[in-house]
Structure 1
Amino acid sequence: MNRTDYALDKKRNRIILYLFHIDSCSSLPAEHNRVYFSSRDEAINAGHTPCQRCKP
């Protein structure tokens, strides 16, 4: 993943926590629980919320 990618935690997504992170976040989920977005705006437009720890 490069610095322009944003990842959604799919596992949390099932519990209605639509968080997305940057690649250096300590809360980043396991690879198999990620969905990637090409931009922050794309993630927000899909209804997801920025992680409060990494503040992408």
Structure 2
Amino acid sequence: MYQKQFANPDCLYGKMDPQFQLARAYVPFQVLGDVYGPAEALCKGTLFPKLYMPYHF
């Protein structure tokens, strides 16, 4: 059903020049805004009012 695929023999799998970076994350600066109190946050499932999105059915 499926054919077995072989890796390219020219591929240097697992060997990478140390000067190369694998990835670089960009995380924008975030300002702490309004937050719920502990009891309300526990009920709503989030500490942040902007993230509160109840499911209406």
Q: Name the TM-score, length of structure 2 as normaliser.
A: 0.21
Greater Rg by CA? 2
Larger % of strand: which?
1
Larger % of helix: which?
1
Which structure carries more relative contact order (alpha carbon 8 Å, separation 6+)?
1
